Chain A
Amino acid sequence: MKDTNAPPLVEISALCKWYGEFSALYDINLTVARGEKVVICGPSGSGKSTLIRCINQLEEHQQGTLRVDGKDVRPGMKGIEAIRREVGMVFQSFNLFPHMTVLDNLVLGPVRNRGMSRAKARELAMGYLEKVRIAEQADKYPPQLSGGQQQRVAIARALCMQPKIMLFDEPTSALDPEMIAGVLDVMETLARDGMTMIVVTHEMGFARRVADRVVFMDEGEIVEVAPPEEFFTAPRTDRAAQFLSQLLAH
């Protein structure tokens, strides 16, 4: 699946970000190859979300370089929209547009950004809605759906832009337990289809089945990067070991 000729999809080097005096991200170096699946985990406040939100510039970094699909991404740059169109994002709280039907949520991006005709965009959107197994809800409004259904719609909405990479920011954290499996299922299918993915999650089962690498963050730094089996069975650092034992304890 990995394409060795093209540049890596995401290249982050020496990236730093502060909130006031608080160092949110410090000296982050991470490269994500095409087709690769990376799971980021770590305690809350460790900078996981901030890191992936830097990739599509929902947060602006202050130092270091960031390249997405070979293009330099700088804070406050013109034309950031073009880069965002290649980067799909799924949020913890879904963030569907409540005043539009499910179908219109999906159609909006392709119509406005790609100049696609409404009819063609609808066709595309229905395809993705079927993929996330929710096509029968196309004409409902988001508040009428369960959390799990909303999150699957959110995934389909991001896919509708036909992005090169998908970012997931704790996609199952806001869901009731019985809803989680359906969302993870969709994400696994996506991974099997070869999508490049960066997933912030604590779902260890998912990480084991899907991830090529697990990135462990603490206090704004990357502490450890390892294949999932290795990371979960024999973490190299104490901080990772401590985090994993806490995760298992609850």
Chain B
Amino acid sequence: MTRRALPPAPPPRRLTMVDWLLFALVAAVLAYVVWRVNAVLVYNWEWHRVLRFVVRVDPDTGQWIANLLLQGLFTTIRLAFWGTILAAIIGLIMGYWRTCNSLALRILSRTYVELIRNIPPLIFIFIFYFFIASQIFPAMGLNNINTSSPWVDNAFFRFAFGDPRLFTNFLTGLICLALFEAAYITEIVRAGIQSVQKGQWEAGRAIGLSRWNLLRDIIFPQAIRKILPPLAGQFITLIKDSAIISLISVQELTFLATEVAASTTKVFETWILVGAMYFGLCYFFAFVFARLEERAGRSNHR
């Protein structure tokens, strides 16, 4: 083999004059906003009054414990966790229905998706809350669960679902959120299933696989690889969308932040802090998913 020359090194990535100008412009706008807030609005920044609501010292034990805002963050994380599981299950079933042979199931799933995607989330949540949750849950006896039963009054329950007294409230928000997000997951799953080549279905049928085995062994494993990235994106969207659940008094981060902002009157500090909390949470998951994707990509590259 002849020895060939190496390719030339790529030009270094550098910021040009125009880039610096752009940065300067953005900085100027930000500076103006800060100046406006400071000089014109005459706002008295009191971060400590809001930070007190993140953690506080328990007067009885003298230890640091989570206060309202951190508790809200925990509830948001719980909502996100269970909401994702529930939405994934509903989305998987509905997404499969969207592609299956039965006309009735296709109509049902299509109606579900179109209904939810074409109603503002806020309206959906109000309808769900006032017409469904407030009627169905009492009928199911969920409104007065026995908070002292050993099923409920234990550390795991508190860790997984929060305060048992707020469980019905939490459940309402959770189902609302899951139903809402599942409509989008349905479409992701449908696209994933349809992205598997027709030949794969045919080959599976040709060796005589039953429909269930065909889906389990051939179609889903291939679809899953394609839908993981958009699914991760939808999970992060779910975290952000969970803020809307505050409107039906689920005591998650946004709801409690409203209360803190009202009681302290420190509106700017509260919302900047809460915004940072959401950002941290979402960015953390985005980072984790990007790494997972990178690893999956490497193992797929054979």
Q: Which of B210, B217, B225 contacts A81 (CB 8 A)?
A: B210
Q: Which residues of A contact B217 (CB under 8 A)?
A: 97, 108, 112
**A99 and B222: CB pair below 8 A?**
yes
In this complex, what residue of B is CB-closest to A140? B302
**Is B294 an interface residue when CB atoms closer than 8 A count as contact?**
no
Known contacts A58-B202, A91-B202; A109 and B221 CB within 8 A of each other: no
Query: Would you call B206 an interface residue if the criterion is a C-beta within 8 Å of the partner chain's C-beta atoms?
Result: yes
Interface residue A117 (Cβ < 8 Å from any Cβ of B): no
Q: Is the CB of B205 within 8 A of A58?
A: yes
Quick one: which of B200, B206, B213 has the most chain A CB within 10 A?
A: B206
- For chain A, the count of residues having a C-beta within 8 Å of the partner chain is 29
Q: Is the C-beta of B218 less than 8 angstroms from some C-beta in chain A?
A: yes
Complex CA gap A179/B302 in Å reads 23
Q: How far is the CA of A98 from the CA of B207 in the complex (A)?
A: 16
Kindly specify which of A62-70, A82-90, A118-126 makes contact with the partner chain: A82-90
* Inter-subunit contact A96/B209 (CB<8 Å): no
> Does A141 reach chain B (CB closer than 8 Å)?
yes
| A23 at interface by CB-CB < 8 Å | no
Residues in A neighbouring B302, C-beta threshold 8 A: 141, 143-144
- Distance in Å: Cβ of A176 to nearest Cβ of chain B: 19
1/0 per residue, CB under 8 A from B, across A47-64: the answer is 000000000101000000
Q: Is the CB–CB distance between A158 and B206 below 8 Å? A: yes
**Smallest distance from the beta carbon of B203 to chain A beta carbons, Å?**
4
Cβ-neighbour of B208 out of A81, A91, A154 (below 8 A): A81
Contact A157 B218 (CB under 8 A): no
Please name all residues of chain B whose beta carbon is closer than 8 Å to the beta carbon of A98 when the two chains form the complex.
222
**Distance A85 CA – B205 CA, assembled complex (angstroms):** 9
Determine if B209 and A113 form an interchain contact, defined as CB atoms under 8 angstroms apart. Answer: yes
User: Does any Cβ of A come within 8 Å of B199's Cβ?
Assistant: yes
Total number of B residues with any Cβ neighbor in A under 8 Å: 19
Query: What are the residues of chain A within 8 A of B209 when measuring CB–CB?
Result: 81, 108-109, 112-113
- Contact indicator per residue, chain A 148-173, by CB within 8 Å of chain B (1) or not (0): 00000010011011000000000000
Distance to closest chain A CB from B298 (angstroms): 15
| Cα A83 to Cα B206 with chains together (Å) | 10
Q: Which residue of A lies closest to B222 (CB)?
A: A99
Q: Could you tell me the distance between the alpha carbons of A144 and B301 in the complex, rounded to whole angstroms?
A: 10
The docked-state distance in angstroms from the alpha carbon of A97 to that of B221 is: 10
Q: A108-B217, A143-B302 are in contact. Are A161 and B207 (CB under 8 A)?
A: yes
Chain B residues, Cβ within 8 Å of A146: none
User: Which residue in A82, A84, A99, A143 is a CB contact (below 8 Å) of B207?
Assistant: A84
By a CB distance below 8 angstroms, the chain A residues around B204 are: 97
Known: A81-B210, A108-B207, A113-B207. A91 touches B222 (CB 8 A): no
Q: Which residues of B contact A82 (CB under 8 A)?
A: 208
CA distance A154 to B204 in the complex (A): 12
**In the complex, A29 has a CB within 8 A of chain B:** no
Task: Enumerate chain B residues within 8 angstroms of A113, measured Cβ to Cβ.
Answer: 207-209
Contact flags (1/0) for B116-135 with A, using CB distance below 8 Å?
Answer: 00000000000000000000
Q: Are A58 and B206 in contact (CB under 8 A)?
A: yes
Check B208–A109 contact: CB distance below 8 A. yes
Give the residue name and chain of the B residue nearest to A85 (CB).
B208
Q: Which residue of B lies closest to A97 (CB)?
A: B218
- Residues in B neighbouring A245, C-beta threshold 8 A: none
B200 touching A158 by the CB < 8 A rule? no
Query: Is there an interface contact between B199 and A85, defined as CB atoms closer than 8 Å?
Result: no
Give, as a whole number of angstroms, the nearest-CB distance from A167 to chain B.
8
Residues of A at under 8 Å CB distance from B? Answer: 56, 58, 81-85, 87-89, 91, 93, 95-99, 108-109, 112-113, 141, 143-144, 154, 157-158, 160-161
Apart from A88-B206, A97-B200, A99-B221, what are 18 other A-B pairs with CB-CB below 8 Å?
A: A81-B208, A81-B209, A81-B210, A82-B208, A84-B208, A85-B207, A88-B207, A91-B199, A96-B203, A97-B218, A108-B217, A112-B213, A113-B208, A113-B209, A143-B302, A144-B302, A158-B206, A161-B208
